[in-house]
A and B are shown apart, each in its own frame.
Chain A
Amino acid sequence: MQQRLGLGLKNMYLNVLDEPLPDDILALLDQLDVDGEGEPDSARSDLDE
Chain B
Amino acid sequence: MNKPQALPPAQFKQQLTEAIPHLRAFGRSLSGDRDVADDLVQDTLLKAWAARDRFIAGTSMRAWTFVILRNTFFSSMRRKKFTANYDELVAERILSAPAPQQEPLHLADLQRGLMELSDDQREAIILVGAGGYSYEEAAEIANCAVGTMKSRVSRARKALEIILEEGRFTSASDGHGDLTTTALENIIGAVEKIAP
Which residues on A are within 8 Å of B, measured CB to CB? 1-17, 19, 21-22, 24-25, 28-29, 32-36, 38, 40-42, 44, 46-47, 49
Contact = CB atoms under 8 A, between A and B. Distances in A.
Interface residues of A, dominant DSSP = helix
A16 to B, nearest CB: 4
- Measured as residues with beta carbon below 8 angstroms from the partner, the interface class of chain B is 35 or more
27 contacts: A1-B161, A1-B165, A3-B99, A7-B95, A8-B96, A8-B105, A9-B126, A12-B25, A15-B93, A16-B25, A16-B28, A17-B25, A21-B20, A24-B38, A25-B38, A25-B41, A28-B42, A32-B16, A34-B10, A40-B53, A41-B50, A41-B51, A44-B47, A46-B71, A46-B72, A47-B51, A49-B74
B25 A5 contact: no
Contacts, number: 124
Contacts of A16: 21, 24-25, 28
In the A-B complex, the 8 residue pairs with the smallest Cβ-Cβ separation, listed nearest first, are: A16-B25, A13-B130, A9-B130, A34-B9, A8-B95, A40-B53, A49-B71, A8-B105
Contact of A12 (B52, B95, B102): B95
Given A13-B29, A34-B13, A44-B47, A21 B21 contact: yes
Interface residues of B, dominant DSSP = helix
Contacts of A10: 129-130, 132
Contacts of A24: 38, 42
A42 B17 contact: no
Contacts of B25: 12-14, 16-17
Contacts of B51: 40-42, 44, 46-47
Nearest to A35: B9
Interface of B: 9-10, 12-13, 16-17, 20-22, 24-26, 28-29, 38, 41-42, 45-47, 49-54, 64, 67-68, 71-72, 74-75, 93, 95-96, 98-99, 102, 105, 107, 110-111, 125-126, 129-132, 157, 160-161, 164-165
